[in-house]
Amino acid sequence: MASRTAPATQSPPIPAGLSRDQLLEIYRYLRLTRTLEERLTALYRQSKVVGGLFRSLGQEGESVGSAYALDRGRNRDFLSPLIRNLGSMLVMGAEPVQILRQYMAKAESPTRGRELNIHFGDLERGYLGQISHLGDMIPVMAGVALTFKLRAEPRVALVYIGDGGMSTGTFHEGINFAAVQRLPLVLIAEYNCWAYSTPPAKQFATAHLADRVRGYGVPAVTVDGNDVLAVYEATRLAVERARRGKGVHAVEVKTYRRKGHAEHDDQHYVPKEELERWARENDPIDRYSKRLLDSGWAEQADLKDIDERVRAGVDAATDACVDEPAPEPESALPAVYASPATAERLWFRGL
Ligand X SMILES: Cc1ncc(C[n+]2csc(CCOP(=O)(O)OP(=O)(O)O)c2C)c(N)n1
Where along the sequence are the contacts to ligand X (CB under 6 A)?
A: 84, 132-134, 162-165, 168, 192, 194-196, 257, 261
Q: x/- binding map, residues 102-141, to another protein, per CB under 8 A? A: ---xxx---x-xxxx--x-----------xxxx-------
Scanning residues 202 to 231, which ones bind another protein (CB under 8 A)?
202-204
| 227 forms part of the interface with Mg ion (CB under 5 A) | no
Q: x/- binding map, residues 144-183, to Mg ion, per CB under 5 A? A: ------------------xxx-------------------
- Count, residues near Mg ion per rule CB under 5 A: 5
Select the binding partner of residue 84 from ligand X, Mg ion, another protein, none (C-beta < 5 to 8 A, by kind).
Answer: ligand X
What is the distance between the alpha carbons of residues 270 and 198, in angstroms, rounded to a whole number?
A: 10
| 42 forms part of the interface with another protein (CB under 8 A) | no
Sign of CA dihedral 306, 311, 315, 320: positive
| 346 forms part of the interface with another protein (CB under 8 A) | yes
Scanning residues 224 to 263, which ones bind another protein (CB under 8 A)?
none
Which of 10, 19, 197, 300 is the binder for another protein (CB under 8 A)? 197
CA atoms within 13 A on the CB side of 181: 20
Scanning residues 158 to 177, which ones bind another protein (CB under 8 A)?
164-165, 167-170
Shortest distance, position 263 Cβ to ligand X, whole Å: 13
Q: Counting Cβ atoms within 10 Å, is residue 252 exposed (0-12), middle (13-18) or buried (19+)?
A: buried
Shortest distance, position 204 Cβ to ligand X, whole Å: 11
Count of CB atoms situated within 10 Å of the CB of 223: 27
| 260 forms part of the interface with Mg ion (CB under 5 A) | no
Which of 74, 151, 272, 349 is the binder for another protein (CB under 8 A)? 349
Q: x/- binding map, residues 64-93, to another protein, per CB under 8 A? A: ------------------------------
Q: Catalog residues that contact Mg ion under the rule CB under 5 A.
A: 162-164, 192, 195
Q: Catalog residues that contact another protein under the rule CB under 8 A.
A: 50-51, 105-107, 111, 113-116, 119, 131-134, 164-165, 167-170, 195-198, 202-204, 269, 326-333, 336, 343-349, 351
